[in-house]
């Protein structure tokens, strides 16, 4: 299992980070989007995209970062 991240600027919200849980070369198992400035977390247990496009453009992220954000996103969804 590996974890990758992409980022982009969202006007009026700040930086948005999309993180992927990857199996094999490019198979997306789960993904989440995190916007720190607005404290938004969106989790996608069944991601709309199953294969990561251009994984070489992503940067690695620690599995702990992904799992902690995922847990927080799941808790907020229930709330």
- For each of the chain's 79 residues, which pLDDT tens digit applies? 999 999 999 999 999 999 999 999 899 999 999 999 999 999 999 999 899 988 899 999 999 999 999 999 999 988 7
| pTM metric for this prediction | 0.92
Q: What are phi and psi of 45, to 5 degrees?
A: -65, -30
Strands (E), 1-79: 2-10, 14-23, 27-35, 40-44, 59-60
Q: How far is CA 13 from CA 9, 34, 58, 70, 79, in A?
A: 8, 11, 21, 20, 23
**Residue in 11, 13, 21 with CA at minimum distance from that of residue 43:** 21
């Amino acid at each position: 299992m590996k974890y990758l991240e992409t980022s982009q600027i969202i006007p009026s919200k700040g930086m948005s980070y999309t993180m992927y849980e990857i199996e094999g070369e490019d198979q997306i198992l789960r993904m989440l989007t995190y916007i720190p400035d607005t404290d938004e977390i969106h989790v996608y247990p069944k991601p709309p995209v199953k294969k990561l496009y251009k994984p070489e453009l992503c940067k690695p992220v620690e599995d702990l970062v992904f799992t902690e954000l995922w847990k927080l996103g799941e808790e907020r969804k229930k709330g």
